[in-house]
Amino acid sequence: MTNSDKAKRYWRTNIKYVLILLLIWFLASYGAGVIFKDELNTIKIGGFKLGFWFAQQGAMYVFVILIFVYVRLMNKLDKTYGYDVD
């Protein structure tokens, strides 16, 4: 595997991770919090209507988790490709 092949494969995996995570990012905020809000609002957890909860709480928690998942995935990927040395 040449250097540029290696770089290309690394980049493709990175793009795949990014796209999957951004899909979840979209579903948690624009999906659950905006588009499907009214449907989700029929479900209640404690005092929270679920659509309202996603818009004002849940989406933010998902965002934090997404970044840390990306950090872990990329640290692993960097190691596999030997890109973790400074």
Partner 1 sequence: MDVQNWTYILVGLTFALYIGIAIWSRASSTKEFYVAGSGVSPLANGMATAADWMSAASFISMAGIISFAGYDGAVYLMGWTGGYVLLALLLAPYLRKFGKFTVPDFIGDRYYSQTARIVAVICALLVSFTYVAGQMRGVGIVFSRFLEVDINTGVIIGMLIVLFYAVLGGMKGITYTQVAQYCVLIFAFMVPAIFISIQMTGNPIPQLGFGSELADGSGTYLLDKLDGLSAELGFAEYTQGSKSLFDVFAITLALMVGTAGLPHVIVRFFTVKRVRDARKSAGIALLLIVILYSTAPAVAVFARTNLIETVSNKPYAEVPEWFKKWETTGLITFTDKNGDGLINYVADKEQNELIVDRDIMVLANPEIAKLPNWVIALVAAGGLAAALSTAAGLLLVISSAVSHDLIKKVYKPNISEKGELIAARLSAVGAVCIAGYFGINPPGFVAAVVALAFGLAAASFFPAIILGIFYKRMNKEGAIAGMVVGITAMLLYMMKYKLGWFDETLPDKSEWWFGISPEGFGTVAMILNFIVAIVVMNFTKAPPKEVQEIVDNIRIPSGAGESINH
| Count of residues engaged in binding partner 1, rule: CB under 8 A | 44
Q: Does 50 bind partner 1 (CB under 8 A)?
A: no
Q: Does 36 bind partner 1 (CB under 8 A)?
A: no
Determine if 25 is a binding residue for partner 1 (CB under 8 A): yes
| 3-state helix vs strand vs coil in the chain, percent to 5 | 80, 5, 15
Q: Which residues pair with 44 in a beta bridge?
A: 49
Residue 57's contacts (CB-CB under 8 Å, 6 or more residues apart) are 48
What is the C-alpha to C-alpha distance for residues 25 and 44, in angstroms, rounded to an integer? 23
One of 1, 2, 42, 64 touching partner 1 (CB under 8 A): 64
**Strand residue runs (E) in the chain:** 44-45, 48-49
Kindly list the residues in this chain that would bind partner 1 in the complex (CB under 8 A): 4, 7, 10-11, 14, 18, 21-22, 25, 29-30, 33-35, 37, 41, 45-49, 52-53, 55-57, 59-61, 63-64, 66-68, 70-71, 74-75, 78, 82-86
